[in-house]
Chains A and B, each alone.
Chain A
Amino acid sequence: MLTVRDLRVSVENKEIIKGLSLEIKPGEVHAIMGLNGAGKSTLANTIAGRNDYEVTAGTIEFDGKDIKDLEPHERVGEGLFLGFQYPVEIPGVSNLNFMRTALNSVRRYRGEEDMSAAEFMKLVRVKAAELKMDLDMLKRFVNVGFSGGEKKRNEMVQMAVLNPKLAVLDETDSGLDIDALKVVADGINAQRRNDTAILLITHYQRLLNYVQPDVVHVMIDGKIVKSGGKELAAELEEKGYADVA
């Protein structure tokens, strides 16, 4: 589903990703673990198409299609989703309006009809309830005044509404207490299907206790230095990055 080959990415002329390759197949959950500054978030943002991140070499293929030159919104249309480490607050834009505009933008990209307001509300109600998100929060401005956990749950509601083929979740577990973590993990597991894939980016093993990965990668200084099964996460937790890598 996602094939990254020999990827090199620079941010403000500084090389952050230094030749990274990754292959994710439908139905798989991958986790990339690494310390701060290893380039994990840069990878996630590059896959999503952030325009100030410059791809200097390598390819990113999604569903057999080179997406390197696609704009961020077009990548979403193709079925990508990025869960933000720090979801952005947007005063003046209501969460519901935001999600409905997003969903209909994606549908239009795919040549589908807009979803009616009634249908959309029905969908959102269900998804919000699954993620224990109060409907009132959805009427508020996007992420404004939300706690860290609420912001992350909001990301999960958005993911559920957009129903992507591949979700790249950047530190979705950070700043969550144990209850919120379980809710978010349930949201991720609900998105886990034979025809979808998930890339988790995380510091800690904690989330991986609730969302069992098929493959774990260790990222250090812009490269994947080691890959293995879920036991690799436990090993990292126990021995630390220096010893494992």
Chain B
Amino acid sequence: MPELVTTAYSDQAASLDGTLAGMGHVRSAAISKFEETGFPTARDENWRYSDIKQLRGQAFSVAQKPPSTEIPDAICETAARLVLVNGRFDVERSNFGDLLQAMSIRPIANHLMANNDRANELHSGSDALTVLNTALMRDGLVFSVPAGVEIEEPIEIVHLMSGADGAAAHVRHLIELGEGAKATILERFVGDESTYWFNSVLQARVAEGAALNHYRLQTEGPQAIHTAKAVVSVGAGGNYNACNISLGASLSRFDAEVRLLVDGANATIDGVALAASRQSHDMLVHVDHRMPTTTSDQVFRTVADALGKSSFQGKITVAVGAQQTLADQSFKALLLARTAEANAKPELEIYADDVKCSHGATIGELDAKAMFYLMSRGIDPATARQMLVEAFTDDALERIDNASVADAFRDRIKSWMMAHAPTQLEKDVA
């Protein structure tokens, strides 16, 4: 990696000194670590399929607030709408609804200022991108739902990148659910055509009997690099339910690390990625079953067209003594063209003997018989393909607990098919 890139990030970290209370030594520790390790390469197991040579070759400056931007329309009814523009919380454009009566939402700066030790509690990360996020984080939101409080409607976080050519946003969100609390976070990622890098870390703690739904809709601009990490811990009988949709960006990565820390903790992590030409979508999951009777289930469906690439790495670990763990994982990839690429790497590490763990991975093409059957009933090839792809991706949307979120995701998948299907049409008919 060019020295210049490392030096640029070291300078950025230094320039951020004093911006968030208590972060000084946390930043310097992180940047030292980054200077030592640098960006990962394809030789690193977790980075086999994400080609980040662009990150290695170019230092992204700190994104500045643009003069003006248009905030995307809502996709469903929400309890609140929180907007970050180029990685900075934009309170003017945000709408808290009535939420502040039931829970607390505040910028991470306020959270850290209230207590100097809090910076030390942040997840500093082991992979280079999380480490860099720790060194360069500037903003983010802290959500805290008190015990017993249930927030029904989704809380939407809109991440908008605009006019940030050559710049990056390193965002950190914290989510804390008290005992028996319930909330739905809907993260959206939107951007323009500029070449920017969005790098976020979301940390969540789900207490005993609490339930966090975490839905993500990634529709970044076509030149964007989107790298996101979720670090989640779940307490006794708690639930973490995630569904990630990757549609945009040239390179996109969603990496979920979920720790089931106490008996009866449960996680479902699902996702859909649709990669058009020259897009690369990577989804990584690591579910760590630490204690007995913890359960997890993953359903991932990816579609790749032309020179698109979709990859999945799913790891399940079951600790010594974590008996009666149930863990399932299903990955299916659909290639719409022979030039498209799909990678699957399921990984199971099991150190307990009384467990039920399963995984399945398949990579295939659209079923020619089903295509002909639909066409033989008068349905044109583009619509037939769309129906089959929707049916295929629907498996991963079934667990979404909110009908309007699920419908919005389906709409996006449909639009993607309508925009990308015609390239393939001739081949089906030929």
The residues of A with any CB-CB pair to B shorter than 8 Å are 48-52, 71-73, 76-77, 82, 84, 87-88, 90-93, 97-99, 101-103, 105-106, 109, 141, 158, 162
Contact A93 B373 (CB under 8 A): no
B 117-143 to A, binary, CB cutoff 8 A, 1 in contact else 0 = 000000000000000000000000000
Contact A51 B380 (CB under 8 A): no
Contact A101 B373 (CB under 8 A): no
Which of B373, B384, B428 has the most CB atoms of chain A within a 10 A radius of its CB? B373
Closest to B429 in A: A71
Contact A92 B391 (CB under 8 A): yes
B370 within 8 A of A: yes
The residues of B with any CB-CB pair to A shorter than 8 Å are 367-370, 372-381, 383-384, 387-388, 390-392, 394-395, 428-430
- Per the bound structure, the CA–CA distance linking A91 and B388 in Å amounts to 9
- Say whether, besides A92-B392, A93-B388, A101-B383, A82 and B376 are in contact (CB < 8 Å): yes
Contact A105 B391 (CB under 8 A): no
- Say whether, besides A88-B369, A90-B370, A101 and B387 are in contact (CB < 8 Å): yes
Closest to B373 in A: A88
Closest to A164 in B: B378
Q: Which residues of A contact B375 (CB under 8 A)?
A: 49, 71-73, 76
- Say whether, besides A71-B429, A88-B369, A76 and B390 are in contact (CB < 8 Å): no
Q: Which residues of A contact B391 (CB under 8 A)?
A: 90-93, 141
Closest 3 CB pairs of A and B: A92-B391, A76-B378, A102-B377
- Per the bound structure, the CA–CA distance linking A103 and B383 in Å amounts to 13
Q: Which residues of A contact B383 (CB under 8 A)?
A: 101, 105
- Per the bound structure, the CA–CA distance linking A108 and B369 in Å amounts to 24
Contact A72 B387 (CB under 8 A): no
Q: Which residues of B contact A162 (CB under 8 A)?
A: 377-378
- Per the bound structure, the CA–CA distance linking A141 and B369 in Å amounts to 16
Q: Which residues of A contact B378 (CB under 8 A)?
A: 73, 76-77, 102-103, 105-106, 109, 162
Contact A105 B392 (CB under 8 A): no
Closest to B389 in A: A92
> Would you give the shortest CB distance from B80 to chain A, in whole angstroms?
34
Listed by A's residue number, 18 A-B pairs whose Cβ atoms lie within 8 Å are A51-B372, A51-B428, A71-B380, A72-B375, A73-B376, A73-B378, A82-B376, A88-B367, A88-B369, A90-B391, A97-B387, A98-B387, A99-B377, A105-B377, A105-B380, A105-B383, A106-B378, A162-B378
Which of B375, B377, B391, B430 has the most CB atoms of chain A within a 10 A radius of its CB? B377
Contact A88 B377 (CB under 8 A): no
Q: Which residues of A contact B374 (CB under 8 A)?
A: 90, 98, 102
Q: Which residues of A contact B384 (CB under 8 A)?
A: 73
- Say whether, besides A71-B381, A105-B383, A48 and B394 are in contact (CB < 8 Å): no
Contact B379 A101 (CB under 8 A): yes
Given contacts A71-B381, A102-B377, A105-B383, 17 further A-B contacts (CB under 8 A): A50-B372, A51-B428, A71-B380, A71-B429, A76-B377, A87-B373, A88-B373, A92-B388, A93-B387, A93-B388, A101-B383, A105-B377, A105-B380, A106-B378, A109-B378, A162-B377, A162-B378
Q: Which residues of A contact B370 (CB under 8 A)?
A: 88, 90
- Per the bound structure, the CA–CA distance linking A92 and B397 in Å amounts to 12
- Say whether, besides A50-B372, A87-B373, A90-B374, A73 and B394 are in contact (CB < 8 Å): no
Which of A72, A84, A98, A141 has the most CB atoms of chain B within a 10 A radius of its CB? A72
Closest to B379 in A: A105
Contact B392 A102 (CB under 8 A): no
> Would you give the shortest CB distance from A88 to chain B, in whole angstroms?
4
Closest to B387 in A: A93
Q: Which residues of A contact B387 (CB under 8 A)?
A: 93, 97-98, 101
> Would you give the shortest CB distance from B301 to chain A, in whole angstroms?
10
- Say whether, besides A92-B391, A92-B394, A93-B388, A158 and B377 are in contact (CB < 8 Å): yes
- Per the bound structure, the CA–CA distance linking A159 and B374 in Å amounts to 13
Q: Which residues of B contact A90 (CB under 8 A)?
A: 370, 373-374, 388, 391
- Per the bound structure, the CA–CA distance linking A84 and B229 in Å amounts to 49
Q: Which residues of A contact B376 (CB under 8 A)?
A: 48-49, 72-73, 76, 82, 84
> Would you give the shortest CB distance from A159 to chain B, in whole angstroms?
10
Q: Which residues of A contact B381 (CB under 8 A)?
A: 71, 73
Contact B392 A73 (CB under 8 A): no
Q: Which residues of B contact A52 (CB under 8 A)?
A: 368
> Would you give the shortest CB distance from A160 to chain B, in whole angstroms?
13
Q: Which residues of B contact A141 (CB under 8 A)?
A: 391
Closest to A93 in B: B391
- Per the bound structure, the CA–CA distance linking A141 and B391 in Å amounts to 10
- Say whether, besides A51-B429, A72-B372, A92 and B377 are in contact (CB < 8 Å): no
Q: Which residues of A contact B394 (CB under 8 A)?
A: 92
Q: Which residues of B contact A73 (CB under 8 A)?
A: 375-381, 384
Q: Which residues of A contact B380 (CB under 8 A)?
A: 71, 73, 105
Q: Which of B368, B377, B428, B430 has a CB less than 8 Å from the CB of A98?
A: B377
- Per the bound structure, the CA–CA distance linking A162 and B378 in Å amounts to 9
- Per the bound structure, the CA–CA distance linking A49 and B388 in Å amounts to 20
> Would you give the shortest CB distance from B139 to chain A, in whole angstroms?
41
Q: Which residues of B contact A105 (CB under 8 A)?
A: 377-380, 383
Q: Which residues of A contact B388 (CB under 8 A)?
A: 90, 92-93
